[in-house]
């Protein structure tokens, strides 16, 4: 049992002990229940204190038991809370550090609560697409008032204990104690040991002066802010029950809503993303206890678009950065951009002026490789040309200290070749950031043939420090994300040839939930980038057919927003995409040249061809071992490519649709003479899973 029991001075102290955050797994629940029974039975015990060992009171449900029978085995959380609430001796929660989800619901079932200042208090269930399921929506409004409670439940965000204690009339915390919170709780328990009746949060009333108007208002706000997620609106409904229904009826309502949400695809997607993020940091053949190298100083080569953004990540994390460039002008330009970015944040009130100064003071620049001799991690972000990278890596090999990690931000080049420019290929790794590098969450960590395990472990650790979601990719053209997006772009091009307009394609995929369709995205990133890549790639692979419309667009000089015209027209200084007659005519002429009679293409076909092209390529990537699990692919698309979170990523979406149905659709697409029948042959892995009736997970 993961809870200990001792009696101190007539007060039984039950201490949850389930590291790291005292998750309320079965053994912990059993431990608490046994403690309550023992305290009830012992005449010498006058009161009970429940607390948590280590770094938390309790972080809530034990995520390791999610979905297993243990999660709901008796005593489940509801029965445990009821046992505590009905204890005939006063139960005091001694709360510190973290009190979240089920942990807060348990505390609300106690008769009294004493908290340490600085405790993070939250009901974060909404972030997993759920409502609190053990009375949180019914008890919290009774303890702190309807509006603060609904704010906490709908946002899922933590609030500090001392702030909650300031709410007039609140009964959440009877005391905030500095110093030892368990001692404070024992002292308090002795004070109130004989007071009867025992106060129960459930017996209080949750009141609001204008409940109908308030809940209508809340519902409208939530709907506008979270239109693709059902849980936030359900939080409003549950809290409304706390005001309008009897406690027991409210509890039944909450339970029903919880169970129904559990089955929604949105909840499934959010839980999938939650676990996928944790899984991404684990590399199958790199043990978790692999020693890591210390990263105290970072150097970045190149102060361009990527070098500047990459540097900001480390400065933000308090790690000193030295940027190396070829010329002083390039340094000045790069530093200017970094400053402008920070100053914009200061202006918006997102960054304090002294923090800005502090970050800039960690930044130094040089034109001289010798100045990089102390760097623990060196990230190269120079022009995308192998010969340029070669010069840089040979120079780094000369000056970098032994054990320094040498990383390349290349997006298309072979990391093994880059590693071979040095005498220490084991220290070379790809760190593929996404633009803007100081904003985008995704980091593809590219594992070369010879990359050492401790280098990987170190880079995964540093990624966490700079708040990136790191996913490991093997070496191949485009790595995971861009290799998949190439197929998606090819499909987008074919759709134009067959009869769609850029606007129709963008609208369909944006309605599906992508932040931006492929053509608006091209205009934002610059259509010339893809043009340059195609010139190289399709010379190497002449058999790979693609639509020439994008090349024709570039030949017209329509590179996108930066030239004021791309797939769409743009008005000076504005980013609104205006459908372009010139582009529509160009596409029509191109069709005529190919002898294609346009047809009407519905949104479903557009979405499925785009998304299933990602899925099929991803299956090849998995089969080749470039990615180690399907959930990694979902993480890449959720954090780097604007795939809608409520759909959980392309692989999760494919599972929701049913892999059998996905393959059927691919077979249909293969029959289209204007598409690429070869590409639509289901990848062997996908075919195998369908034949065996299995899923990616």
Catalytic residues: 105, 125
Is residue 384 at the binding interface for ligand NAI, with CB under 6 A as the rule?
yes
| 495 close to 505: Cβ distance less than 8 angstroms | yes
Q: Which is nearer to ligand NAI, 275 or 531 (CB)?
A: 531
382 near ligand NAI (CB under 6 A): yes
Between CA 190 and CA 90 the distance in angstroms is 10
Half-sphere exposure of 525 (CA within 13 A, CB side): 17
Q: Nearer Cβ to ligand NAI, position 432 or 483? A: 432
From candidates 301, 315, 627, 686, binder to ligand NAI by CB under 6 A: 301
Alpha-carbon distance values, 144 to 78, 235, 635 (Å): 21, 16, 37
Q: What would the x/- binding string for ligand NAI be over residues 596 to 635, using CB under 6 A? A: ----------------------------------------
Segment contacting ligand NAI (CB under 6 A): 170-178, 301-309, 548-556, 650-658? 301-309
With binding defined as CB under 6 A, does residue 381 bind ligand NAI? Answer: yes
> Which string of b and e fits 94-126 if b means at least 16 CB within 10 Å?
bbbbbbbbbbbbbbbbbbbbbbbeebbbbbbbb
User: Which of 435, 467, 541, 694 forms a contact with ligand NAI (CB under 6 A)?
Assistant: 435
Q: Which residues pair with 364 in a beta bridge?
A: 322
Indicate the Cα dihedral angle 364, 366, 370, 373, nearest 10°.
Answer: 20
409: contact with ligand NAI by CB under 6 A? yes
Strands 11-16 and 3-8: antiparallel
| 574 C-beta neighbours (distance < 10 Å), count | 10
Reply yes or no: is the peptide bond before residue 197 cis, omega within 30 of 0: yes
Q: Which of 22, 119, 311, 411 binds ligand NAI (CB under 6 A)?
A: 411
Q: Is the dihedral of CA 473, 478, 482, 483 positive or negative?
A: negative
| Residue number with CB closer to ligand NAI (327 or 688) | 327
Residue (of 287, 288, 285, 313) closest to 298 by Cα position: 313
Total of chain residues touching ligand NAI, rule CB under 6 A: 25
Q: Does 445 bind ligand NAI (CB under 6 A)?
A: no
CB 634 within 8 A of CB 271: no
Alpha helices in 466-498 (DSSP H): 479-498
Nearer to ligand NAI, 217 or 383 (CB): 383
Q: Which of 65, 325, 506, 605 binds ligand NAI (CB under 6 A)?
A: 325
Instruction: Give the three-state DSSP class for 518.
Output: helix
Q: Out of 33, 61, 83, 392, point to the residue binding ligand NAI (CB under 6 A).
A: 392
The answer to whether 561 contacts ligand NAI (rule: CB under 6 A) is no
Cβ proximity to ligand NAI: between 109 and 640 the closer is: 640
| CB 276, min distance to ligand NAI, A | 22
Return the range that interacts with ligand NAI (CB under 6 A); candidates 275-283, 343-351, 432-440, 494-502. 432-440
Residue 303 as a binder of ligand NAI (CB under 6 A): the answer is yes
Among 95, 123, 298, 306, binds ligand NAI (CB under 6 A): 306
For residue 309, the minimal CB distance to ligand NAI (Å) is 8
Which residue in the set 170, 305, 341, 695 belongs to the binding site for ligand NAI (CB under 6 A)?
Answer: 305
Q: Which of 307, 430, 478, 682 binds ligand NAI (CB under 6 A)?
A: 307
- Residue 326 interacts with ligand NAI (CB under 6 A)? yes
Question: How many angstroms separate the CA atoms of 245 and 238, rounded?
Answer: 10
Query: From residue 169 to residue 208, what is the string marking binding to ligand NAI with x (rule CB under 6 A)?
Result: ----------------------------------------
First to last CA, the chain: 31
* List 55, 344, 383, 557, residue binding ligand NAI (CB under 6 A): 383
Q: Please state the closest distance from residue 413 (CB atom) to ligand NAI, in A.
A: 7
The residue to which tokens 């950065």 are assigned: 321
Residue 375: both structure tokens together:
């760097």
Closest CA to 552 of 587, 524, 521, 578: 587
Q: What is the DSSP string of 286-337?
A: S-TT--------EEEE--SHHHHHHHHHHHHTT--EEEE-SSHHHHHHHHHH
CB 615 within 8 A of CB 648: no
Report how far apart, in Å, the C-alpha atoms of 289 and of each of 23, 110, 239, 452, 453 are: 22, 39, 45, 14, 11
Closest CB to ligand NAI: residue number: 304
Pick the stretch among 145-153, 406-414, 415-423, 688-696 that binds ligand NAI (CB under 6 A). Answer: 406-414
Binding part of the chain for ligand NAI, among 79-87, 130-138, 298-306, 451-459 by CB under 6 A, reads 298-306
What does the per-residue mask of binding to ligand NAI show for 488-517, with x meaning CB under 6 A?
------------------------------
Among 227, 246, 352, 391, binds ligand NAI (CB under 6 A): 391
Contacting range for ligand NAI; rule: CB under 6 A; set: 8-16, 283-291, 408-416, 585-593 = 408-416
HSE (CB half, 13 Å, CA atoms) of 276? 30
Residue 65 touches ligand NAI, criterion: CB under 6 A: no
CB of residue 326 vs ligand NAI: minimum separation in angstroms? Answer: 5
Beta carbon of residue 533, minimum distance to ligand NAI (angstroms, whole number): 10
Stretch that binds ligand NAI, among 428-436, 472-480, 536-544, 629-637 (CB under 6 A): 428-436
Place of tokens 């951009």: 337
Pairing of strands 11-16, 47-52: parallel
Residue placing its CB nearer to ligand NAI in the complex, 58 or 409: 409
Total residues belonging to the chain: 697
* Paired strand residues for 14: 5, 50
Phi, psi of 402 (to 5 degrees): -60, 135
Q: 382 or 635: whose CB is closer to ligand NAI?
A: 382
Looking at beta carbons, which pairs linking 567-574 to residues 24 or more positions away fall under 8 Å?
Answer: 567/502, 567/519, 567/520, 567/522, 567/523, 567/527, 568/502, 568/503, 568/519, 568/520, 568/523, 570/523
Residue 304 binding ligand NAI, by CB under 6 A: yes
**Closest distance of CB 492 from ligand NAI, Å:** 19
Q: What single-letter DSSP state applies at residue 58?
A: B
What is the nearest approach in angstroms of ligand NAI to the Cβ of residue 61? 38
388 interacts with ligand NAI by CB under 6 A: yes
**Among residues 90 and 530, whose Cβ is nearest to ligand NAI?**
530
SS3 content of the chain, % helix, strand, coil (to 5): 50, 10, 35
Which span (33-41, 387-395, 571-579, 629-637) binds ligand NAI, by CB under 6 A?
387-395
**Site string (330-369) toward ligand NAI, x via CB under 6 A:** x---------------------------------------
d(C-alpha 365, C-alpha 240), whole Å: 58
**Nearest distance from residue 388's CB to ligand NAI, in Å?**
5
CA-to-CA distance for 89 and 107, rounded, in angstroms? Answer: 15
Q: Which range of residues in 103-111, 264-272, 324-332, 663-671 is near ligand NAI by CB under 6 A? A: 324-332
433/519 with CB nearer ligand NAI: 433
Residues of this chain that interact with ligand NAI (CB under 6 A) are: 301-307, 324-326, 330, 381-384, 388, 391-392, 409-411, 432-435
């Amino acid at each position: 049992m993961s809870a200990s029991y001792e009696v101190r001075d007539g007060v039984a102290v039950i201490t949850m002990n389930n590291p790291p955050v005292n998750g309320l797994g079965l053994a912990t629940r059993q431990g608490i229940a046994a403690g309550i029974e023992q305290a009830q039975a012992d005449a010498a015990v006058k009161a009970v204190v429940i607390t948590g060992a280590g770094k938390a009171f309790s972080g809530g449900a034990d995520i390791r038991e999610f979905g297993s029978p243990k999660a709901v085995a008796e005593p489940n959380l509801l029965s445990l809370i009821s046992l505590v609430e009905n204890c005939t001796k006063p139960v005091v929660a001694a709360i510190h550090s973290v009190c979240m989800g089920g942990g807060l619901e348990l505390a609300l079932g106690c008769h009294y609560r004493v908290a340490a200042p600085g405790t993070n208090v939250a009901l974060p269930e909404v972030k997993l697409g759920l409502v609190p399921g053990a009375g949180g929506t019914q008890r919290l409004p009774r303890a702190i008032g309807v509006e603060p409670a609904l704010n906490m439940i709908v946002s899922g965000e933590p609030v500090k204990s001392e702030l909650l204690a300031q709410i007039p009339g609140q009964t959440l915390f009877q005391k905030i104690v500095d110093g030892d919170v368990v001692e404070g709780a024992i002292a308090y328990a002795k004070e109130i040991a004989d007071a009867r009746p025992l106060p129960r949060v459930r017996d209080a009333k949750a009141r609001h002066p204008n409940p109908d108007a308030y809940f209508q208002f809340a519902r409208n706000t939530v709907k506008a802010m979270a239109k693709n997620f059902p849980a936030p609106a359900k939080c409003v409904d549950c809290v409304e029950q706390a005001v309008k229904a009897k406690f027991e009826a409210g509890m039944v309502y909450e339970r029903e809503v919880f169970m129904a949400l559990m089955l929604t695809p949105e909840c499934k997607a959010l839980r999938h993303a939650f676990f996928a993020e944790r899984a991404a940091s684990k590399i199958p053949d790199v043990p978790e206890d692999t020693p890591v190298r210390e990263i105290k100083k970072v150097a970045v080569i190149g102060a361009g678009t990527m070098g500047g953004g990459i540097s900001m990540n480390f400065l933000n994390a308090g790690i000193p950065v030295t940027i190396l460039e070829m010329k002083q002008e390039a340094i000045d330009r790069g530093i200017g951009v970094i400053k402008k970015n920070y100053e914009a944040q200061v202006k918006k009130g997102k960054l304090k002026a002294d923090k800005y100064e502090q970050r800039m003071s960690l930044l130094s620049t040089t034109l001289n490789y010798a100045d990089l001799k102390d760097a623990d991690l060196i990230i190269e972000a120079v022009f995308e040309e192998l010969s340029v990278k070669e010069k840089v890596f040979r120079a780094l090999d000369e000056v970098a200290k032994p054990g320094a990690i040498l990383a390349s931000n290349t997006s298309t080049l072979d990391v093994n070749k880059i590693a071979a420019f040095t005498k220490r290929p084991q220290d070379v790794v790809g760190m593929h950031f996404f633009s803007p590098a100081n904003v985008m969450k995704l980091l593809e960590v590219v594992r070369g043939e010879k990359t050492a395990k401790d280098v990987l472990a170190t880079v995964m650790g540093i990624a966490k420090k700079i708040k990136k979601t790191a996913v490991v990719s093997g070496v191949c053209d485009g790595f995971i994300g861009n290799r998949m997006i190439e197929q998606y772009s090819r499909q987008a091009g074919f759709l134009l040839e067959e009869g769609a307009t850029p606007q129709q394609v963008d609208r369909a995929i944006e309605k599906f939930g992508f932040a931006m369709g492929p053509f608006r995205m091209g205009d934002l990133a610059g259509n010339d980038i893809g043009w340059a890549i195609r010139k190289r790639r399709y010379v190497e692979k002449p058999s790979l057919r693609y639509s020439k419309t994008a090349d024709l667009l570039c030949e017209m000089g329509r590179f996108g927003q930066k030239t004021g015209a791309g797939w769409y027209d743009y008005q000076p200084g504005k980013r609104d995409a205006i459908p372009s007659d010139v582009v529509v005519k160009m596409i029509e002429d191109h069709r005529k040249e190919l002898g294609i009679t346009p047809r009407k293409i519905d949104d479903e076909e557009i979405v499925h061809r785009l998304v299933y092209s990602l899925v099929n390529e991803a299956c090849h990537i998995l089969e080749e071992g470039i990615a180690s699990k399907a959930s990694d692919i979902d993480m890449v698309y959720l954090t780097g490519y604007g795939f809608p979170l409520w759909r959980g990523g392309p692989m999760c979406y494919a599972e929701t649709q049913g892999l059998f149905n996905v393959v059927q659709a691919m077979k249909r697409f293969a029959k289209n003479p204007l598409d690429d029948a070869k590409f639509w042959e289901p990848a062997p892995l996908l075919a195998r899973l369908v034949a065996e009736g299995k899923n990616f997970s």
